[in-house]
Chains A and B, each alone.
Chain A
C-alpha cells in the first residue's frame, strides 16, 4: 500500500510521455497487469460451463446436455447459429427445434453482449488465451515475429462455408470447426480431429497472435450480429482516461478501442467485435473503463 502512490506517479509520468504520441499500435506500451478481477471471474465462468457440459454426461446430472454446437439447458434447446444455418442450407429442411434453439441463443446473447460467447464460454478462446501468453513471451525474446491478417477474413469464411453447405449438401465447416471439436473432446473424449485443433493453436502461437479468434473464426460472426444491438457494453469515462492505450495492448480486437476511444465518438465501446472480456477493464489504472448497460445507464 505504501508503494502505491509512488507507482501511480510513475505511471502518470509514463503516461505523459505517451500522451499524444500517436494513435496507432507502435506506441502502445507493453501490458503489465495490476489486477485480474474480471479475468478471474470470466475464467471461472468459462470453466464452470464447460465442466457442466462434461458433468452432465459423465456424472449424468443432465443439466447442460450436448456440446457447443447443440445442447439442452434443462430441456431447452440451445443451438449454435452457424451450425443451424449450415444444417438448414445443406438439408434444405427447416426444423422447428433449430429455430427454437437459435432463438434462445439469440435471446441470451442479446442480453449478455454478443461475442461474450467467445470470451466467456468458448473453450478454444481459453486455450488461445494461454497460447497468447506463450506467444508474447516468445515475441519478447525475439524468437518469433508476429504477423497480422485482414480482420474481414472472418466474414468471407462465414459466407464461404454457408455457400459450401448449400452447394455440397453437407455441413463442411462442422467437420473442421475447432470450437466444436474441442467441445466434443471435453464431453465425449478425444478424437483424431483434436490434432487439427492443436495444430491451429500451435501455429497461432508461433506465427500470429490470436489468429483464429481475431481473423478467421466464422462461429463468432453470428454472435457478433447479436453484439451489434446488445446493450451490455464496455463503458468509457472520457474524463478519467489518460490515453495511455494499455487497454489496446491487451485487447483481442484492438480496433474496437481505437475507434471509440481515440476518436472520442461515444461513451461506449460500440464495435460489435468487442468480446466483453474485461481485460481492458482490468488493466485500466485510471478507472476509465467499466462494464455498462447502454440504454439503462442513462435512465438511472
Chain B
C-alpha cells in the first residue's frame, strides 16, 4: 500500500510539474505572439532604410547600435507599450525627426541589414509621408505668420520674463527674414551697432514683456515676416528639390485665397516638419510607410473643403 501511495504521489508530483511547465510555457508563447499582434495595425516610424515591416521585424536583432550612432539621437527602442517588436528602433517625429544626416550612420551600423545597406543617400529613404492631418489648425492655411503666432502665445503666458529659449528661437528666425531697413529699426530700438546672432543674446537679456508687443507689431508689419507660416518647408532637410509646394487655393464658400501646403513625391517622411510645426498639435504629421501618389493629393483637397 505504502509503495503504491508513494508511487502515486511521485506521479502526481511529476504531473503537477509538467503541467505547470506546459501552462507557463504556452502562456509565454501565447503572450509573445498574440499581444503584439493586437497592435500590429499601429505602424511606427522606422529609421531610414528599414525593410518592409514584416521582414524588418524578422531581421532586427534588437541590439540598438543604430541608436548609438544617431547624431541627433532621435532613435528610440520600442518597449512593450509599442507592441510588436520589443527592442526595435523607432522614431517619434514630434519629439525629434530624422535629419537624414550624410552617410546615414544608422544604416551602416545595422549588423543584420534590417536597415538595408543599399540606401546611401538620405533623399532616397522611404520612411513614410508627411500628411496635412489638421488643416484647420495649419497656420499657412489660416494665413497666419508663424512668428507672430508664437510671440502672441508667449505673451499669453503672462510670466514676468518670457521663455528665453523659445524667444531666442523666434528672434533668430525673425532676423534671418529682415531687410536692411528693418534691421536698422532694430538697431535703433535696442541701440546696437549691428544685428546678428551674437547681439541676439544682448537683446534677450534686455527684453521685458512690454517689448514683446513692439516685436509683435513689428513682425506683423514687416514685409518678410508678414508671409504666412512656411516652417515645414524651411526646416525640411531635403534642400535640392521642394518637398512641400504652397499652392494657392480659393475657399469654395468664402471665396478667400489661402496657401495649401501640398506634399510632393520627394518627401521621405523624415518627420522634421512634424517636429518643428508651431501649432500645439502638429498640423502636419508623418504616416509611416505611406507611399506618395496623386490620389492622396486629391484626398487632401477633399479634406480641406470641410474647413
Q: Give the interface centre of B59, B61, B109 by most chain A CB atoms within 10 Å.
A: B61
Task: Give the total of A residues in contact with B, Cβ under 8 Å.
Answer: 43
B96 CB, min distance to chain A CBs, angstroms: 16
Q: How far is the CA of A292 from the CA of B81 in the complex (A)?
A: 48
- A192 adjacent to B55 (CB under 8 Å): no
A191 to B112 Cα, complex, angstroms: 23
Q: Does A169 reach chain B (CB closer than 8 Å)?
A: yes
| Chain B residue at smallest Cβ distance from A191 | B79
Given A175-B36, A192-B79; A70-B63 close (CB under 8 Å):
yes
Contact of B32 among A147, A176, A191 (CB under 8 A): A176
Segment with Cβ contacts to A, from B64-72, B198-206, B215-223: B64-72
Are A187's CB and B36's CB within 8 A?
no
Contacting pair A175 B65 (CB below 8 A)? no
Q: For B29, B67, B87, which residue has the most chain A Cβ atoms within 10 angstroms?
A: B87
C-alpha spacing A268/B229, complex, angstroms? 76
Whether B156 sits at the interface, judged by CB under 8 Å, is no
Kindly list chain B residues whose C-beta atoms are within 8 Å of the C-beta of A70.
61-63, 65, 111-112
Indicate if the CB atoms of B58 and A180 lie closer than 8 Å.
no
A69-B114 Cα distance, complex, nearest whole Å: 14
Asked whether A72 is an interface residue with its Cβ less than 8 Å from the other chain, the reply is yes
The A82-130 residues at the B interface (CB cut-off 8 A) are 83-84, 87, 90-93, 95, 97-98, 101
Determine the distance from Cα of A184 to Cα of B63 in the docked complex, in whole angstroms.
8
What's the minimum C-beta distance from B167 to chain A, rounded to whole angstroms?
31
Chain A proximity of B70: nearest CB distance (Å): 11
Q: Does B113 contact A (CB under 8 A)?
A: yes
In this complex, how many residues of chain B approach chain A with their Cβ under 8 Å: the count is 32
Beta-carbon contact of B59 and A93 below 8 Å: yes
* Contact assessment for B68 and A169 in the assembled complex, using a CB-CB cutoff below 8 Å: no
Contact A169 B54 (CB under 8 A): yes
- Closest chain-B Cβ to A145's Cβ sits at a distance in Å of 12
Q: How far is the CB of B9 from chain A (nearest CB, A)?
A: 15
Report the minimum CB–CB distance from B65 to chain A (whole Å): 5
Find out whether the CB atom of B81 lies under 8 angstroms from the CB atom of A192: yes
* A219 adjacent to chain B (CB < 8 Å): no
Alpha-carbon gap, A183 to B65, bound state (A) = 13
A69 in complex: contacting residue of B29, B63, B85, B113, CB < 8 Å: B63
Partner of A97, one of B68, B85, B86, B113: B113
Q: Given known contacts A71-B65, A174-B61, what 7 new A-B pairs fall within 8 Å (CB)?
A: A70-B63, A95-B113, A172-B33, A181-B87, A187-B64, A191-B80, A192-B80
**B contact residues vs A (CB 8 Å cutoff):** 17, 21, 28-29, 32-33, 36, 54-55, 57-65, 67-69, 77, 79-81, 85-87, 109, 111-113
Which 6 pairs across A and B sit closest by C-beta, in order of nearness?
A70-B63, A91-B59, A90-B58, A91-B58, A191-B79, A192-B80
List 11 A-B residue pairs with CB atoms under 8 Å apart, sorted by A's residue number: A66-B111, A67-B63, A69-B61, A70-B63, A70-B65, A79-B63, A149-B17, A153-B21, A184-B77, A188-B64, A188-B67
